[in-house]
Structure 1
Amino acid sequence: MDIKFGKKVFIRNAGKDEYWLQDLIYENPSILGLGNLQPVTKEKLQPSGGRLDILLKDPVDNTMYEVEVMLGETDPSHIIRSIEYWDNERRKYPQRQHIAVLVAESFDRRYFNIVQILSLNIPMIAIQADLLEVNGEYIITFTKILDIYVEPEHEEDAIVVNESFLSEKAKWTLDTVYEFCKYLTDSNKLNFTKSYISTVFIP
Structure 2
Amino acid sequence: MANLVSLEKISLKNHPEIKEDLIQKFIFEHPESLGLGELTPIQRERIQPAGGRLDILMGTVDNDGRYEIEIQLGATDPSHIIRTIEYWDTEKKRYPQYDHCAVIVAEEITGRFMNVISLFNGAIPLIALQVSAYKVGDDISLAFTKVIDRVTPGTDEEDEYEITDRNYWENRSTKKIMKDVDAIFADLGQYTAGYELKYNKFYVGLAKDGIAKNFISFKPKKSFLHFIFKTNESPELSQKIEDAGLDVTYESRWRQYRVKLQNFDDYKKHEALIRECVETAMEYFNIAEG
Band the TM-score falls in, shorter-chain normalisation: 0.7 to 0.9
Give how far 1:48 is off: 1.9
Q: 1:59 to 1:9 in 2, by over 3 A?
A: same
1:137 is displaced (CA, Å) by 4.4
- Offset of residue 133 of structure 1: 2.3
Task: State whether structure 2 residue 6 is matched by structure 1 residue 5.
Answer: yes
For residue 194 of structure 1, what is the amino acid of its counterpart?
D
Cα deviation code 1:12-33 (max 9, x no counterpart): 3332000011000111111111
Of residues 82, 85, 89, the one that matches 1:83 is 85
Say if 2:131 and 2:145, in contact at 8 Å, map to a contact too. Answer: yes
* Shift of residue 7, structure 1, vs aligned partner: 3.1
Bigger Rg over Cα: 1
User: Counterpart amino acid of 2:209?
Assistant: K
State the AA in 2 paired with 1:145: V
Q: Say if 2:135 and 2:141, in contact at 8 Å, map to a contact too.
A: yes
Distance in 1, Cα, partners of 2:153 & 2:101 = 16
Structure 2: tracts of 5 or more residues without a match: 166-185, 187-191, 195-207, 211-290
- Residue identity matched to 1:39: P
Displacement of 1:35: 1.1
Pairwise CA distance, 1:63: 0.4
Q: 1:169, CA displacement in angstroms?
A: 3.7
Residues 63-106 of structure 1: CA deviation (Å, up to 9, x unaligned):
01000011000101000011000000000001111000000010
Which residue of the partner structure matches residue 93 of structure 1?
A: 95
Gaps of 5+ in 1: 171-192, 196-203
| Deviation readout 1:28-48 (Å, 9 max, x if unpaired) | 111111111011111111122
- In 2: Cα distance, 1:8 partner to 1:154 partner: 46
Q: Which string of whole-angstrom CA distances, capped at 9 and with x for unpartnered residues, describes residues 91-145 of structure 1?
A: 0001111000000010110112111222110010000110012456422101111
* Pairs aligned (count): 166
Greater length-normalized contact order (CA 8 Å, ≥ 6 residues apart): 1
Q: Is the 8 A contact 1:5 1:134 kept in 2?
A: no
Change in CA separation of 1:42 and 1:2 when aligned onto 2, cut-off 3 Å = same
Sequence identity, in percent?
A: 39
Which one of the candidate residues 67, 72, 75 is aligned to 2:74?
72
Q: Superposition RMSD on alpha carbons, in Å?
A: 2.6
Q: Distance in 2 between matches of 1:169 and 1:143?
A: 33
Conserved? CA contact 2:24–2:56, under 8 Å: yes
Partner of 1:51: 53
1:144-193 CA-partner distances (Å, limit 9, x unpaired): 111111468689x97x9xxxx9xx946xxxxxxxxxxxxxxxxxxxxxx8
Question: Which consecutive segments of 4 or more residues in structure 1 shift more than 3 A?
Answer: 134-137, 150-155
Q: Give 1:63's aligned residue.
A: 65
1:12 aligned counterpart, secondary structure: coil
Task: Indicate the residue corresponding to 1:39 in structure 2.
Answer: 41
Structure 1 residues 55 and 151: alpha-carbon distance in aligned structure 2, compared to 1, 3 A threshold: closer
User: Conserved in 1, the CA contact under 8 Å of 2:125 and 2:152?
Assistant: no
Tell me, yes or no, if the aligned pair for 2:58 and 2:66 is still in contact at 8 Å: yes
* 1:174 matched residue in structure 2: none
Q: Does the residue aligned with 2:96 lie in a helix, a strand or coil?
A: coil
The amino acid of 1:87's aligned partner reads D
Q: Which residue of 2 aligns with 1:109?
A: 111
Tell me how far apart the structure 1 counterparts of residues 24 and 140 of structure 2 sit (CA, whole Å). 17
